[in-house]
Amino acid sequence: MKMEHSVIRHGRYAFMALLALLVSATSAQAAERVSVEDAKRIAEEAYIYGYPLVTMEMTRRVMTNVPKVEATRGPMGHLVRIRSYPSAEYKDVTAPNADTLYTTAWIDVKEEPWILSLPDVQDRYYLFPMLDGWTDVFEVPGTRTTGTGAQVYAITGPGWEGALPEGVVEYKSPTSMVWFIGRIYCTGTPEDYAAVHEIQDEISLVPLSAYGKPFTAPPGKVDPNVDMKTPVREQVNALDTAAYFTLLASLMKDNPPAEGDASIIAKMAKLGIVPGKPFAFGKLNPNVQTALKDVPKDSLVKIMGHFKESGKNINGWTFTTNTGLYGTDYLQRAVITAIGLGANRPQDAVYPTSELDLEGKPYTGESKYVMHFEKGQLPPVNGFWSLTMYNDDYFFVDNPLDRYTLSARNDLKKNADGSVDLYLQHDNPGSERESNWLPAPKGRFIPMLRLYWPSEGAPSILDGTWEIPVIKKVQ
């Protein structure tokens, strides 16, 4: 195992060193020779390629720019333990979750590894995906992959070599930037909240140098220049060409491209966009500079235009099973970054969403709808499933029951033939149906189905052997 890791390390660095020599030798001359048309095409490809890394960095800045843990934010190296489901007043992040409690953290593994210790969760479903700077989920300890017993991991950086304490498993991050997005299933009762809080409190995160010793994470340093009000996506989209590629080039020094990215990196060098080196936009041909000014706007149109091609549409539900690991599918990676940053691998979660009914009209609380599951055809999962109600801005809907989801934990009533009907409407359908009622707003609404650890054998949403029922309007 040690030898295998060493080969991987040296192979990656040999690739990066060779690539650096190649791009350094050609970038200056190529930038002068490239045509306006080629420059525009390369720049748009580069923008799409780098969108995840730039977005991750801007997200990291905002989420960690606090002196101590505050709600959903915490300094670098601090665990943020979210203690309850969001309420209908919560507006920080769209499409909030009311099934799991999150434990998150941002770390930098450039200087040394960090040790993540996970306790025994007593057969409870959980997952702790780890994202690199390019949004790939490079490891996913949890119930599906590693079981529910106690576990200890060292997250090491792309250039680290050394010895680890006995019993510590190495997870090598391809980048210095790492984001943990841990999720622990919770029923939402006071008793279960308390049980999950105990689990959260037993999770620890320390640098290798402090492992086995008393450790208190230092307070964060607040940068007053970080915009803490404007949504991250708007901040990224507002960067002009020079600022965007300057940031991208600097980030690629500690968050190196993968070997499969050699082709796009060589193209970028023709414009002087080289990992770890300043991007001299002002030294480009004036005609090229003019042509590149609209690259952010035009590239974003391409990214969002890919949304319709990014997944499937079945019975009015749109979803994708191409998330978490992207290879060289840069456009898919970019659109998932734009609409669902932090997405899991499909083996861990799939999120079908329905914005329009089969007639192409928005769902509205002025009508009544039924989602019918034949006997034995509730969503096939090994983890859990839930149907969540959002308003047209993807936030929870205030209602008399404080109910934002329906799932197996609602003790759903079955019909005489064993089938199950779920009622999506604004008005209470009556005591006989209330257990199966998902309250909707008076206006437009959007339902989302979550399938955590979907079944991998038939029936399964992953291979199309199970299809989501259509939501039918009651006439």
- Residue 31 corresponds to which tokens in the numbers above? 């930038």
DSSP assigned state of 80: E
Q: Using an 8 Å Cβ cutoff, are 74 and 64 in contact?
A: yes
Q: How far is residue 260's CA from residue 68's CA, in Å, rounded to a whole number?
A: 39
User: What DSSP letter does each residue of 334-351 carry, written as one string?
Assistant: HHHHHHHTTPPPTTTEE-
Contacts of 309 (CB under 8 A, 6+ apart): none
Other C-beta atoms closer than 10 Å to the C-beta of 417 total: 7
DSSP-derived 3-state class of residue 411: coil
Please state the pTM of the whole predicted model: 0.91
Strand 114-118 relative to strand 405-407, pairing: unpaired
Amino acid at 26: T
DSSP-derived 3-state class of residue 108: strand
pLDDT tens for the chain, 475 residues long, are 333 333 344 444 445 555 555 555 555 455 557 899 999 999 999 999 999 999 999 999 999 999 999 989 999 999 999 999 999 988 777 788 999 999 999 999 999 999 999 999 999 999 999 999 999 999 999 999 999 999 999 999 998 999 999 999 999 999 999 999 999 999 999 999 999 999 999 999 999 999 999 999 999 999 999 999 998 999 999 999 999 999 999 999 999 999 999 999 999 999 999 999 999 999 999 999 999 999 999 999 999 999 888 999 999 999 999 999 999 999 999 999 998 899 999 999 999 999 999 899 999 999 999 999 999 999 999 999 999 999 998 999 999 999 999 999 999 999 999 999 999 999 999 999 999 999 999 999 999 999 999 999 999 999 999 999 999 999 8
Per-residue CA distances from 54 to 47, 57, 60, 292 (Å):
10, 5, 10, 18
Q: Is the dihedral of CA 147, 153, 155, 159 positive or negative?
A: negative
Q: Which residue has the tokens 């049980």?
A: 195
Q: How far is residue 187's CA from residue 84's CA, in Å, rounded to a whole number?
A: 11
- Residue 246 corresponds to which tokens in the numbers above? 């300057």
- Complete domains list, the chain, with CATH: 2-58+230-309 (no CATH), 66-210 (2.60.40.1610), 312-473 (2.60.120.600)
